Amino acid sequence: MHSGSSLLLVLLAAILLIVFLIVKVRVHAFLALIAASFVVGVGSGMPLLQIAASFEKGVGGTLGFLAAIIGLGGILGKMLEESGGAERIAQTLLNALGKERASWAMMLVGFIAGIPVFFEVGFVLLIPLIYVVAKETRINLLYLGVPLAVSLMAVHCMLPPHPAAMAITGMLGADVGKVIVYGLIVALPTAIIAGPLWIKLVCKPQAPAAQEAFLDEHCENRESRDLPSLGLTLLTILLPLLLMVGKSFAASLPPDSAAFRVVSFLGTPLIALSIAVLFAYWALGLRRGLSMADLLKHTQKSFPPLAGILLIIGAGGAFNGILIDSGVGTALAGSLAQFNMNPIILAWLVAGLMHFAVGSATVAMISAAGMVAPMLGAHPTVSKEIIAIAIGAGAIGWTHVTDSAFWVVKEYLGVSLADALKKFTSATVLASCVALALTLLLSRVV
């Protein structure tokens, strides 16, 4: 039987191994998490057969809950992308707010359109519109792109049904509907403060001299196309959220009533997303003249990008399972309890440090949830939903050179490395701190 201090050293070695393999050796995060899982198992003295059993149970237990949900979310995002729904939202907001408030419009576009799509997909999907607006108004690309990127990142880290947010919700045993509500409460002010308000302080709205040549090279004349209506697009995006949040509010209904059973059934994540996909097939597809063959093609195109995310989350579930079964999680909880640190701040700090080190918000959130979950038993009054939001808040920050999202923003905006670090990375650090402050405030009233 290993002592608590030796178990903590095993965990430290596993974390350092994850960072080394991902950052230095350039090993895929899935394989790095597998290696770390076996280091924890062997280092803690678990029997080999028990390591294998815990690994299988961790992968199956995590993906059994998430695989279908992530697949359905991928279809929903692809339908929004292919139909032009995101473009419709952007055009409507730009027309309503005016080109002089384009930074606010892009922040809102990222916040709404980012709900069903991944960060990189949302940014690449909307960057042509940013190019057009920047060319017409001579506004600095950073002035438009940073608010978009920050809002996409906030939604990506804090709002189910995004894969990492959904995964840690399940790992912590939190209520999905409450996480969505709390995520919206925290993420929107965060996106506002670290987006349009921050960029106004650190960046001049006028385009630099070199931007015109960059836009001439990258801004293509886009053909106008038939876009879906704003109402149907918004309903498609918000439908699964409304159903899942409705399940949380159904707790006030009599448990033996038909209304309670129906609302609870419809608000189950799998059912809510299934209904949303069927609605998207009609509203963004069949209603607009697409055939079933077209919908099949869109569906098939939505699955390949999900493979890596599913594998990372599955390996993260295995890492979490072995932390618990080996006793490392209990040792970590006991050690952290001695510091008497607020568990919300601790969850935020662990996720932030992991994101800074490995450059992946998904890996950071999964790893942080695995390390923080055993500690929650010592803090029964702390809301699991608040801890989930705190982990997401931590993972927003320190989006820098180790993160692919950083390079997507830098290259598509055509800015220098220094400018990207000063304007975008600083915005994510600010967003993380603002989100922590809002989460702490929220924890006092829920």
Stated pTM of the model: 0.88
Confidence of residue 316 (pLDDT cuts 50, 70, 90): confident
Based on its alpha-carbon atoms, the radius of gyration of the chain, rounded to whole angstroms, reads: 22
Measure the CA–CA gap between 150 and 156, rounded to whole angstroms. Answer: 10
Measure the CA–CA gap between 382 and 6, rounded to whole angstroms. Answer: 28
CB neighbours of residue 181 within 10 Å: 19
Comparing 62-71, 195-204, 280-289, the range with the smallest average pLDDT is 62-71
Which stretch of DSSP H or E encloses residue 440?
A: helix 426-443
Measure the CA–CA gap between 371 and 320, rounded to whole angstroms. Answer: 7
pLDDT tens-digit series, residues 338-347: 777 889 999 9
Q: What percent of the chain has pLDDT over 90?
A: 46
Contact predicate 118/77, CB 8 Å: yes
Confidence at residue 1, expressed as pLDDT on a 0 to 100 scale: 45
Measure the CA–CA gap between 117 and 123, rounded to whole angstroms. Answer: 9
CB neighbours of residue 405 within 10 Å: 22
Segment 312-331 shows an average pLDDT of 84
Confidence at residue 190, expressed as pLDDT on a 0 to 100 scale: 97
Confidence at residue 327, expressed as pLDDT on a 0 to 100 scale: 84
Q: Mean pLDDT across the chain, nearest whole number?
A: 89
Helices (H) and strands (E) in the chain — how many of each? 23, 0
Confidence at residue 2, expressed as pLDDT on a 0 to 100 scale: 58
